[in-house]
Chains A and B, each alone.
Chain A
Amino acid sequence: MKFKVNGHEVFASTGGRPFDKKKPLIIFVHGSGLTHMTWVLQTRYFAFHGYNSLAVDLPGHGLSSGESLKSIEEMADWVSDVIDAVGHKEASLVGHSQGCLVTVECTSRYPDKIKTLSLMGGAGAIPMNPELLSLAENNDPKAVDLMMDWAHGPAGHFGGHPVPGLYHINTGTMLAKSRTIQNTLGVDFRACDNYKNGFDAAKKIKCPTLSILATDDKMCPVKEGKKLASLIDGSQVDIIDNCGHMMLLEEADRVLTVLKKFITTNYPPLSS
Chain B
Amino acid sequence: MSDKKKELKPNTYKFDTLSLHAGYQPHKNAGSRQVPIYQTTSYLFDDVDHAAALFNLERGGHIYSRISNPTVGVLEERVASLEGGTAALATSSGMSAIFLTVMTLCEAGDHLVVSSQLYGGTVNLFRLTLPKFGIKCTFVKPRDTEGFKKAIQKNTKGIFGELVGNPGNEIMNMPEISKIAHEAGIPLMVDATYQTPYLCKPFEHGADIVIHSLTKWMAGHGSSMAGILVEGGKFDWMQNDKFPTMTKPYEGYHGLSFAEEFGPTAFTMKARAEGMRDFGPCLSPQNAWNVLQGIETLSVRMKKHCSNAEEMVKYLSNHESVAWVSHPSVPDHPDHELAKKLLPNGRGSMIAFGIKGGKDAGVAFINNVKLASHLANVGDTRTLVIHPASGTHSQMDEATLKFAGLSHDMIRLSVGIEDIDDIKNDFEIGFRAARKPRLVSNQ
A44 within 8 A of B: yes
Decide if A178 touches B263 in the complex (CB within 8 Å).
Answer: yes
Across the interface, A35 reaches (CB within 8 A) one of B25, B85, B263, namely B263
B264 within 8 A of A: yes
Kindly report which residue of chain A lies nearest to residue B233, judged by CB atoms: A174
Decide if A41 touches B77 in the complex (CB within 8 Å).
Answer: no
B182 within 8 A of A: no
B382 within 8 A of A: no
Least distance between A63 CB and chain B CB atoms (Å):
7
From A37, A132, A242, residue with most partner B Cβ within 10 Å: A37
Chain A residue numbers with a CB within 8 Å of B315 are none
User: What count of chain A residues pass the 8 Å CB interface test?
Assistant: 45
Decide if B77 touches A155 in the complex (CB within 8 Å).
Answer: no
Chain A residue numbers with a CB within 8 Å of B254 are 16-17, 48
From B234, B261, B268, residue with most partner A Cβ within 10 Å: B261
Inter-chain CA distance A165–B76, complex, in Å, is 5
Inter-chain CA distance A92–B410, complex, in Å, is 69
Least distance between B396 CB and chain A CB atoms (Å):
35
Tell me whether A40 and B10 are in contact in the complex, defined as CB-CB below 8 angstroms, given that A155-B25, A170-B84, A252-B60 are known contacts: no
Chain B residue numbers with a CB within 8 Å of A256 are 59
Chain B residue numbers with a CB within 8 Å of A146 are 8-10
Chain B residue numbers with a CB within 8 Å of A167 are 22-23, 77, 80-81, 85-88
Least distance between B193 CB and chain A CB atoms (Å):
19
Chain A residue numbers with a CB within 8 Å of B269 are 163
Chain B residue numbers with a CB within 8 Å of A162 are 59-61
A contact patch SS = helix
Inter-chain CA distance A48–B87, complex, in Å, is 25
Residues of B369-426 at the interface with A, using a CB-CB cut-off of 8 Å, are none
Chain B residue numbers with a CB within 8 Å of A166 are 60, 77, 80, 86-87, 265, 268
Tell me whether A149 and B11 are in contact in the complex, defined as CB-CB below 8 angstroms, given that A170-B81, A171-B87 are known contacts: yes
Chain A residue numbers with a CB within 8 Å of B74 are 159
A13 within 8 A of B: yes
A234 within 8 A of B: no
Chain A residue numbers with a CB within 8 Å of B76 are 164-165
Q: Pick 14 A–B contacts, CB within 8 A, sort by A.
A: A40-B262, A44-B58, A44-B59, A45-B53, A129-B8, A131-B7, A165-B68, A165-B90, A166-B77, A166-B86, A167-B81, A171-B233, A174-B234, A174-B263
B-contacting residues of A (Cβ < 8 Å)? 13, 15-18, 35, 37, 40-41, 44-45, 48, 63, 129, 131-132, 135, 142, 145-146, 148-149, 154-155, 157-167, 169-171, 174-175, 178, 242, 252-253, 256
